[in-house]
Structure 1
Amino acid sequence: MMSLKNLAMFVRVYELGSMSAAARDQRCSPAVASSRISELEKYLGVRLFNRTTRTLRATEHGKIFYQGARKVTEALAEAEAAVMETSQSPRGSIFVAAPLGIGRRLVAAQIPAFKDLYPEIDVRLRLSDRKLDLTGEGLDMALHMGPLPDSDLKVRMVAECPRVLAASPAYLSRRGTPLDGAALVQDRHDCLVLRFPGATEFQWTLMTQTGPKRYDISGPLESDDGDVLTDWALAGRGIILKPAFELAEHLRAGRLVPVCEDTPPAPVPLAWLFPHRRFTDPKVRLFSDYMTRQCRAAISGPAAQTRP
């Protein structure tokens, strides 16, 4: 009898075009993934993929088999979701990603309470400021801040997140306080930049009387970790652009001071992203519902206010 695990592995290998990516998606090792494909090929008596050390391509048999295999796996997923929908004890693991700073403050802080509500659901959290491939890395969902990607991912908006430009009193006493974006550029202020391999944003978008305007910024320090940038700002090394709720404590305590208030940063979308087939998973939806409520409360509540 054909193994459903082998069938599911075949579908993901075909869709992702990679044995290792499919292995991550199915929570197993590449060796196990390869073994499952081999077992399926032996059962069917045909080769489904032509494999070399560098390439993997579906054969004509593989292309034909995929059409039926996908229908079977989709039907099974729908049936499982229907059963889970009526279950009083949803269970299983959720693989979640979030940016470092936001992930620590908005997501990680709330996971223990979620676990208390749903003890049979395990949460695997990955924090990273780099761009992630949700499908290729086997993630169920990811919190995304910034312009929404043009892709086939499902999107659930959380909020438009207010942001603030800020610097320490020591930096401002040394370099002066820029009132707007023009002064930021003309006076060559040290901007602390979040940058990582593949990053494309080298400008800050600020709101002016005539609408959003992009300003070319530069500085001697950059990092792929947003919390490192905050530490540098507190140490007087430059101006930082961050979500208001992330800097709220430092602003209230006077450790950081808002700047460029005549041209504040444009708010940025905060949203959950899902691979298409994960979106209807009941346990993923439960986690999304819970975290969306918590994120909205944190962003709009008293802790998000930047003034004493």
Structure 2
Amino acid sequence: MNMDVGNLEAPVFRPPSEWDSLLIKVTNGCTHRCTFCSMYLTKKFSMRKDIEDIKNDIRKAREMFGSRVEKIFFEDGNAFVVKSHVLIELTRYCYQQHPNLRKVSSYAHVQDILKKSDDDLKRLADAGFTMVYVGIESGDNQVLKDCNKGATQDDYALAAQKCHQAGIDWSGIFLLGLAGNDPEKSQRHAVESAKLINRMAPPMPRKWYISPLTLEMTPGSEILAQNLKNKFQPCTSTQILEELYTLIKNTDDDLTGCIFNTNHASNYLSLKGELGKDKRDFLHRVEAGIKDPSVRRPEYMRGL
């Protein structure tokens, strides 16, 4: 269960793995508007400009939760957009106030990372900032353009390497079904996403994370409006699993340290292991899901 000091603006979002983190409001909303996302439609993006006010929240959390805080997640949609010196100061202060703290993280748009120098990223890591969660969605440049992602495959590959070199853990999120049910587009989406995963592999031994989710057309999203106008047709559950199979199949067999996780509630199958050590097992399980619908997560149990 998350901890906070009571000033977060609903709705509040964070990665599933941050379920037990202290949530500290650094920004509100998100700087970007992707076609598939309705998460921050009710929020106008803003930054908290008084750093002492944010520090007060961090200090107040110590008074409220004592030594229980081990992880802190900076809200909101892409708090990593904040200037490097501010993030460094806030990160250091988190560790000063919370003696058992072991992780500080946030969502980040790829451009947030690319705008920061290698030295800034290294100083941020040295301060104790440990992980960025990056919504990659696809390795296919056309899909990225169509969903208004504001990035290319090259951007993601470069940003991942910048984080690896700095010592910041990389957690990349892909979105199955984002290309729609056209077989050729779906295939390219999966193959190019696998190609990007291969390009993001760190040159040194370290853990990194890849988490495919499945597209949900939520109320208020542009992609739902496209669907209602017959301009976008979603994939079937079988097509989603075929995409997942193609994506895994086209990743390099010698990938190491890549924690691969499809445990998110939007997905039809739950996989967790390491690419490429567990690649054959993953393919076997996805193939079984393609052939036998009974092993898939039922629709009523899926969600965001």
User: Highest Rg: 1 or 2?
Assistant: 1
Q: Which has the higher strand share?
A: 1
With a CA cutoff of 8 Å and minimum separation of 6, indicate the structure with the bigger relative contact order: 1
When the two structures are superposed, what TM-score results if normalisation uses the length of structure 1? 0.24
When the two structures are superposed, what TM-score results if normalisation uses the length of structure 2? 0.24
